[in-house]
Amino acid sequence: MRNVLNDAEKAKNKKAPLGTDITIENYSKEDISVYDVIDDLDDLSKKDKDTLISVGVDSEEKQRSGSFVQFDQSNIFANTLSDNIEVMNTGVAKDKYPWLKDYLWNAVKPDQDKYTAETALREEKEDVYSGYFIRSKPNTKEVFPVQACMFIADKDIMQTAHNIIIAEENSELHLITGCATGSDISSALHVGVSELYLKPGSKITFTMVHNWAEQVEVRPRTGIKLADNTTFINNYILTSPVQCVQSYPTAYCEGKNSRALFQSVLSGQKTSNIDVGSRAILNHESSSAEVLSRSVANDESKIYARGDLVGNVPNVKGHLECNGLVLSDESSIYAVPILEANSSGLELSHEAAVGKIDEDEIYYLTSRGFSEEEAAAMIVRGFLNMDITGLPPALAESTKKMIDMSVKGM
Amino acid sequence: MLLEIHNLAVEVEGKQVLKNVNLSIAEGETHVLLGPNGAGKSTLFMTILGFPKYHVTNGSIIFKGKDITNLSTAERVKLGMGVSFQNPPAIRGISVENLLKYESGQNEEDELNPRMKSLADKLKFNDDFLKRDVNLGFSGGEVKRSEVLQLLAQRPDFTMFDEPDSGVDIENVELIAEELNVILDKQKKISERKRAGLLITHLGYILNFVKADKAHILMNGEIACSGNPDEILNDVRENGFKGCVNCAQCTQ
């Protein structure tokens, strides 16, 4: 039997192996009822609505199957727009569904590091449950995505969220999650624990757009469990400056024919320290994983693009691809691909290329009339604008637009 | 004269490639540039286009009466130059359609204009193809057709074609040639032709479909001889460029 409280207590001071160590005590806790619940996303201020839309969260909820918004620690809005889906606060779900406890801290360990420990301690000791519970019902295929937003509204706070996402048997669930900060926030810490469960025959696409302020520390902790015949697609987009993001979502491919695909678009600006990896543990025959990342380092930014594929049984396949452009002398990209093969008869591979913009590409575009500057900007945009696969057409198009918009805004 | 090149000497990465090139092309004329491998044919193209790697150490390039020797590539293109590359680079995230819109002066957000759509159709590019990243995974023929399509969008007054027929099957050479003739005003009466071009060809096969007015042989960094395309081509086909070596040496 897991003892969450006990495990969390022990890990209270456990440093994460990656990313700068953050002194949690420097950030203040905020109560879960500081912000009032709203009836309609339209009740948000124009400024907040604009911020939400920049991370893909539409206050008009057009073509959405549900919405969830958290301000600091307060869950201010949860709305379900489709019979195929359920959207609510994790705390509410825990009371409604006694079985939910089996899903809490099952794909992410409370003692992973001090950030998960702090989140667990708030739950266990103070009964603070923030974050969302989103579930797609069995045998449903909802084409419209659920949108969720984590918003930091007050400075110097530590925001925690514990998200549980469950795709029931033979269902399809699409999520857009945006994280953002109010325009006047100078410093804050965000810790988001997300646990995703894919039941047999299900599919989840999880598209996350981050738009933080320059002094925000971000430590998402994500675990994904995949049963038989499942597909998980993770898209992560970060194109605005941030203090430091460190994340390493891990997919556990435990079912046969389970498949995980991670795609990341990272643009380092100013002094951003971005450490984003994707890991897949291939534990069942014929499971597979693919990790693709595109990074562009500007100014004085540092980007760590990591990928880790672990094959534990025969007949699994995994491929890592990491491409980076370093555009300034003060910036760096570290491409860190890891392949771990613990069985015979499996296939794991990686390709990594980091460098400058190819001059021939610039000249080619100048020969069509673009100036060198225009050509370089276009090439960078094109490089980052990777085709996000696996989304329904309307969502694919809006995601493409979202990437386009955030890349253009760089 | 549309294009005049005087006493042009060019260095690439510290190595002299062109020594003394003189060449004039009038409005409405199509010239062909022949020469052995490594003679500097592509270097001449890239220098006319103004790519930074090609340093002009002597001489000048005059286009439409204006000295363009020190202009950037983009400025030359805006003056009316165009090029079809032999091996253009693939660029991720930039589609053929994006380029066509820019080249034909359209906004990125708008639908591709009907003229370009029908031209694309003619060159056997469907919508899916137009959405593909330019040159990424294209076959030899697709590369050439995409280059020609872009030139049709651009409508330059002076166009350089670097081996437009290499790597293209016979059926597609005719298709490409047909559009080359459009780009070069060949369907118009001689007196009405305005657009001009310079063509590099190895095999000369494309010349069966695109009539050139004049041929030049580039050897040892100079134009070794110029004249009637048929005569020169026949000579090259019979004797290779060996004859030209002797010839070039004679004239020195």
Q: Cα-Cα-Cα-Cα dihedral of B108, B114, B120, B125, to 10°?
A: 80
> CA–CA separation, A400 vs B57, rounded Å?
47
Backbone angles phi, psi at B141, to 5 degrees: -65, -40
User: Which pLDDT belongs to residue A384?
Assistant: 85
Determine how β-strand B3-12 pairs with β-strand B54-63: antiparallel
pLDDT band at A389 (very low <50, low <70, confident <90, very high): low
Q: What is the mean pLDDT of residues B120-137?
A: 92
Q: Which residue has the tokens 């911020």?
A: A51
Q: What is the mean pLDDT of residues A318-327?
A: 95
Task: Verify whether the Cβ–Cβ distance B74 to A372 is below 8 Å.
Answer: yes
User: Of B71, B72, B94, B135, which to mutate for an interface test with A (greatest number of A Cβ within 10 Å)?
Assistant: B94
Backbone angles phi, psi at A379, to 5 degrees: -65, -40
pLDDT per residue as tens digits for the range B59-85: 999 999 999 999 999 999 999 999 999
With beta carbons less than 8 A apart as the criterion, state whether A139 and A170 touch: yes
Mean residue pLDDT across chain B: 91
- For A306, the token pair is 């990591």
Backbone angles phi, psi at B76, to 5 degrees: -65, -40
pLDDT per residue as tens digits for the range B14-67: 999 999 999 999 999 999 999 988 899 999 999 999 999 999 999 999 999 999
A chain contacts of residue B91, beta-carbon cutoff 8 Å: 361, 364-365, 379, 382
Provide, rounded to the nearest whole percent, the portion of chain B with pLDDT above 70: 96
ipTM: 0.94
pLDDT band at A407 (very low <50, low <70, confident <90, very high): low
B117-149 burial by CB neighbour count: b if 16+ within 10 A, else e? bebbeebebeeebbebbbbeebeebbbbbbbbb
Q: Give the Cα-Cα-Cα angle A200, A104, A163 (nearest 5 degrees).
A: 85
Chain A, nearest residue to B50 by Cα = A367
Residue B250 has pLDDT above 50, yes or no: no
Q: Is A370 on the interface with B (CB under 8 A)?
A: yes
- Please spell the DSSP secondary structure of A30-99, one letter per residue: --TTSS---S-GGGS-HHHHHHHHHTT--TT-TT-SEEEEEETTEEEEEEE--TTEEEEEHHHHHHH-GG
Identity of the residue in B73, B78, B133 whose CB atom sits nearest the CB atom of A363: B73
Residue A343 has pLDDT above 70, yes or no: yes
B chain contacts of residue A383, beta-carbon cutoff 8 Å: 92-93
With beta carbons less than 8 A apart as the criterion, state whether A149 and A143 touch: no
A chain contacts of residue B49, beta-carbon cutoff 8 Å: 367
pTM for this predicted structure: 0.85
Please report the domains of chain B, with CATH numbers, ordered by start residue.
3-89+157-250 (3.40.50.300)
Mean residue pLDDT across chain A: 93
In total, the C-beta contacts within 8 angstroms joining chain A to chain B are 60
- For A209, the token pair is 């757009």
Distance from CA of B205 to the nearest CA of A (A): 26
> CA–CA separation, A232 vs A172, rounded Å?
10
Q: Single out the residue of A155, A200, A215 nearest to residue A20, CA to CA.
A: A215
Identity of the residue in B53, B83, B91 whose CB atom sits nearest the CB atom of A382: B91
- For A281, the token pair is 């543990």
**CB neighbour list of residue B32: distance below 8 Å, 6 or more residues apart:** B198, B199, B200, B201, B204, B207, B212, B214, B215, B216, B229, B233
> CA–CA separation, A129 vs A400, rounded Å?
33
User: Which pLDDT belongs to residue A211?
Assistant: 86
> CA–CA separation, B223 vs B216, rounded Å?
6
> CA–CA separation, A263 vs A387, rounded Å?
9
Chain B, nearest residue to A376 by Cα = B91
Residues β-bridged to residue A275: A246, A304
Chain B, nearest residue to A385 by Cα = B93
> CA–CA separation, A397 vs A278, rounded Å?
24
**Better-predicted residue by pLDDT, B117 or B171:** B117
Provide, rounded to the nearest whole percent, the portion of chain A with pLDDT above 70: 97
Identity of the residue in B73, B92, B99 whose CB atom sits nearest the CB atom of A366: B73
- For B151, the token pair is 């030139």
Neighbours of A124 (CB within 10 A): 17
Provide, rounded to the nearest whole percent, the portion of chain A with pLDDT above 90: 80
Residue A393 has pLDDT above 90, yes or no: no
Residue B244 has pLDDT above 90, yes or no: no
Q: What is the mean pLDDT of residues A311-332?
A: 95
> CA–CA separation, B158 vs B43, rounded Å?
17
Q: For A199, how many CA atoms within 13 A lie in the half-sphere containing its CB? A: 16
Provide, rounded to the nearest whole percent, the portion of chain B with pLDDT above 90: 73
Task: Verify whether the Cβ–Cβ distance B93 to A365 is below 8 Å.
Answer: no
Q: What is the mean pLDDT of residues A234-256?
A: 93
With beta carbons less than 8 A apart as the criterion, state whether A293 and A320 touch: no
Chain B, nearest residue to A384 by Cα = B93
User: Which pLDDT belongs to residue A209?
Assistant: 87
Q: Is B91 on the interface with A (CB under 8 A)?
A: yes
Residue A152 has pLDDT above 70, yes or no: yes
A chain contacts of residue B88, beta-carbon cutoff 8 Å: 364
Q: What is the mean pLDDT of residues A231-260?
A: 94
pLDDT per residue as tens digits for the range A218-235: 999 999 999 999 999 999
Residue A130 has pLDDT above 90, yes or no: yes
A chain contacts of residue B12, beta-carbon cutoff 8 Å: none
What is the Cα gyration radius of chain A?
A: 20
Which amino acid is present at A198?
L
User: Which pLDDT belongs to residue A381?
Assistant: 86
> CA–CA separation, A3 vs A314, rounded Å?
34
Residues β-bridged to residue A187: A215
User: Which pLDDT belongs to residue A342?
Assistant: 97
> CA–CA separation, A147 vs B232, rounded Å?
70
Distance from CA of B15 to the nearest CA of A (A): 19
Task: Using DSSP, state whether A264 is helix, strand or coil.
Answer: strand
- For B146, the token pair is 């995409």
Helix axes A372-384, A393-408, angle to 10 degrees: 140
Q: Burial-class residue A338 by CB neighbours within 10 Å (0-12, 13-18, 19+).
A: middle
pLDDT band at B252 (very low <50, low <70, confident <90, very high): very low
User: Of A351, A368, A401, which to mutate for an interface test with B (greatest number of B Cβ within 10 Å)?
Assistant: A368
pLDDT per residue as tens digits for the range B114-123: 999 999 999 9
Task: Using DSSP, state whether A28 is helix, strand or coil.
Answer: strand
Task: Using DSSP, state whether A172 is helix, strand or coil.
Answer: strand
> CA–CA separation, B140 vs A2, rounded Å?
62
